[in-house]
């Protein structure tokens, strides 16, 4: 077991830590966290719209009351979930500049970075190509409720590329805009106003040349791609689609969960490094597609609904064993202390208090349990036993409640959540028993 710890510390931890601590990755992680409230707001209105499915016995009542206002309140869903790429664009630009400011580049302005990032993203929205000797922005009907107007795609009355499909591009353009802004500022290619000019005026002129440079670079890129009869979104849709499909596969999900929990067992926040930094943007894209009728299994809060029951490792089952089956005073006391946080999926007291970190008794179930739970939920969705994830949820929701809301009231999803809790108790039990007996013997020896 010590050889495993040594291997992880030597070969896995350093490169992952290095990547996770880069300015780009930290800014993307912060942007993902900034987008969470909007996904939850969108889901509230989506749940309202699905009340007849959630409570079939009251369907007639809902259809003749609250659903009459659907066109109004679904604006909350459209402008939140349907505009995720915009929020990402602003957030990436802001937090990326913040990382450079913390590194000493105090002359940069975070708000300017956010605006330039959004400007760069907006310049990629229309699809313009070269046709009949000139640039053409096409207008046509693609499908019912899907129109191309002057090169801009509208789905259900809103700009398609503002939604989840545009998140990856907003990150790329945000990075480009920030680097162009830094180039101008660090090379003193800005307009400097004399002393005494109000700060707001001075800042607006200081961002003029960076804005011009961003526009020329992005328009130049549009021209090059337009001559090739494509654009940035279409160009990158294939590689991003490949990554999303790989991530959304059962094998891809197993690899992600394995990496998360291998980091946890050596004391590193695997959820923050792997899930929050790299996986969440892909899950948000899949969620927004599901909200529009797609069928992505690994989407939205899949992990929080069926895997992280009690937190990373699905440790609520372990905590229940501590409360009801522990003989050792250490685990009894820890169980009583950790049960309330565990119900709301907070398990640092268990990970560092049991401990699970560097503990040869508990690391095996800690790694295996989430992979089993994820497999159960994955194949339950794949074989149409439960519904797809269509709504974002707060990660602190207790077991079953998140599954109910995240699937717009699917009872089977709740059953699978509690089945997974039962399975986690079974998976942890033999390892818990060995560890608890060992602690109990030590306590007896010290007590004599």
Instruction: Note the pLDDT tens digit of each residue in 34-92.
Output: 887 887 788 788 888 888 877 778 888 988 999 999 889 888 888 888 888 899 999 99
Q: How many other CB atoms are there within 10 angstroms of residue 201's CB atom?
A: 10
At 247, the pLDDT band (50, 70, 90 cuts) reads confident
Q: Closest by alpha carbon to 417, among 406, 431, 427?
A: 406
Query: Dmax of the chain from CA atoms?
Result: 94
- Among all chains, which residue has been given the structure tokens 């268990």? 350
At 129, the pLDDT band (50, 70, 90 cuts) reads confident
Instruction: Note the pLDDT tens digit of each residue in 190-207.
Output: 887 777 667 767 777 788
Token readout for 382 is 């794949």
Provide the angle, in degrees to the nearest 10, between the axes of the packed helices 23-49 and 70-80.
Answer: 170
Kindly list the strands in the beta sheet with 140-143, ordered across the sheet, starting from the edge strand earlier in the chain: 140-143, 146-149, 152-155, 158-159
Q: What is the C-alpha to C-alpha distance for residues 42 and 49, in angstroms, rounded to an integer? A: 11
User: What letter would DSSP give residue 137?
Assistant: E
Instruction: Note the pLDDT tens digit of each residue in 390-415.
Output: 988 888 889 999 999 999 889 999 99
User: What letter would DSSP give residue 192?
Assistant: P
Give the model's pLDDT for residue 1.
57
Give the model's pLDDT for residue 312.
93
Give the model's pLDDT for residue 9.
66
Give the model's pLDDT for residue 376.
97
Give the model's pLDDT for residue 372.
97
3-state secondary structure of 159: strand
Q: How many other CB atoms are there within 10 angstroms of residue 359's CB atom?
A: 16
Give the model's pLDDT for residue 29.
80
Residue 197, CA distances (Å) to 84, 184, 192, 200, 207 in order: 37, 21, 10, 8, 15
Give the model's pLDDT for residue 15.
72
- For residue 355, whether the previous peptide bond is cis, meaning omega lies within 30 degrees of 0, is yes
Taking 70 as the threshold, does the pLDDT of residue 12 lie above it? no
Q: What is the C-alpha to C-alpha distance for residues 7 and 360, in angstroms, rounded to an integer? A: 15
Instruction: Note the pLDDT tens digit of each residue in 229-243.
Output: 888 888 877 776 667
At 13, the pLDDT band (50, 70, 90 cuts) reads low
User: How large a percentage of the chain has pLDDT more than 90?
Assistant: 42
* DSSP-derived secondary structure for 308-344: -TTSTT-THHHHHHHHHH--SHHHHHHHHHHHHHHHT
Angle at 383 between CA 313 and CA 298, to 5 degrees: 45
User: At 370, phi and psi to the nearest 5?
Assistant: -60, -30
Taking 70 as the threshold, does the pLDDT of residue 188 lie above it? yes
Residue 220, CA distances (Å) to 59, 130, 190, 233, 276 in order: 53, 13, 21, 15, 33
Instruction: Note the pLDDT tens digit of each residue in 355-400.
Output: 888 788 898 999 999 999 999 999 999 999 999 999 888 888 899 9
Taking 60 as the threshold, does the pLDDT of residue 228 lie above it? yes
Segment 298-320 shows an average pLDDT of 94
Give the model's pLDDT for residue 17.
66
Token readout for 105 is 């580049």
CB 83 within 8 A of CB 63: no
Provide the angle, in degrees to the nearest 10, between the axes of the packed helices 250-264 and 232-248.
Answer: 70
- Among all chains, which residue has been given the structure tokens 């899930």? 275
Mean pLDDT of the chain: 87
Q: Closest by alpha carbon to 38, among 68, 78, 92?
A: 78
Token readout for 108 is 């940069």
Segment 321-335 shows an average pLDDT of 93
At 321, the pLDDT band (50, 70, 90 cuts) reads very high
Instruction: Note the pLDDT tens digit of each residue in 105-124.
Output: 999 999 999 999 999 999 99
């Amino acid at each position: 077991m010590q050889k495993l710890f040594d291997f992880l510390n030597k070969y896995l931890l350093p490169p992952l830590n290095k990547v996770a601590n880069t300015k780009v990755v930290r800014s993307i992680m912060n942007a993902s966290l900034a987008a969470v409230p909007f996904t939850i707001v969108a889901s509230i209105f989506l749940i309202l719209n699905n009340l007849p499915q959630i409570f079939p016995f009251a369907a007639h009542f809902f259809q003749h009351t609250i659903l009459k206002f659907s066109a109004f309140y679904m604006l909350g869903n459209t402008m939140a979930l349907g505009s995720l790429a915009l929020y990402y664009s602003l957030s990436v630009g802001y937090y990326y500049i913040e990382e450079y400011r913390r590194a000493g580049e105090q002359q940069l302005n975070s708000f300017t970075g956010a605006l330039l990032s959004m400007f760069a993203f907006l310049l990629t929205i229309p699809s313009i190509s070269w046709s009949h000797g000139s640039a053409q922005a096409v207008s046509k009907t693609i499908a019912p409720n899907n129109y191309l107007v002057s090169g801009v795609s509208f789905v259900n009355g809103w700009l398609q590329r503002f939604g989840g499909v545009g998140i990856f591009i907003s990150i790329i353009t945000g990075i480009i805009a920030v680097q162009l802004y830094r180039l101008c500022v660090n090379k003193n290619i800005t307009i400097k106003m004399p002393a005494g000019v109000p700060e707001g005026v001075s800042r607006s002129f200081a961002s003029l040349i960076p804005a011009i440079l961003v526009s020329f670079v992005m328009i130049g890129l549009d021209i090059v791609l337009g001559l090739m009869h494509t654009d940035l979104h279409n160009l990158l849709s294939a590689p991003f689609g490949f990554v999303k499909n790989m991530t959304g596969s059962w094998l891809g999900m197993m690899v992600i969960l394995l990496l998360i929990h291998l980091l946890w067992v050596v004391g590193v926040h695997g959820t923050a490094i792997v899930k929050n930094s790299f996986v969440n943007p892909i899950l948000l894209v899949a969620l927004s597609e599901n909200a529009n009728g797609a069928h992505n299994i690994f989407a939205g809060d899949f992990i929080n609904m069926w895997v992280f029951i009690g937190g990373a490792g699905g440790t609520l089952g372990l905590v229940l064993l501590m409360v009801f089956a522990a003989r050792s005073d250490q685990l009894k006391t820890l169980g009583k202390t950790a049960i309330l946080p565990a119900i709301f999926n907070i398990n640092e007291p268990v990970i560092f208090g049991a401990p699970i970190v560097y503990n040869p008794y508990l690391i095996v179930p800690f790694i295996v349990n989430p992979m089993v739970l994820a497999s159960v939920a994955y194949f339950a969705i794949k074989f149409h036993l439960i519904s797809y994830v269509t709504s974002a949820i707060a990660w602190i929701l207790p077991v079953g409640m998140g599954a109910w809301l995240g699937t717009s009231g699917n009872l089977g999803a709740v059953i699978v959540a509690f089945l997974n809790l039962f399975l986690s108790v079974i998976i942890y039990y033999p390892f818990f028993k060995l560890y608890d007996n060992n602690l109990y013997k030590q306590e007896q020896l010290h007590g004599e």
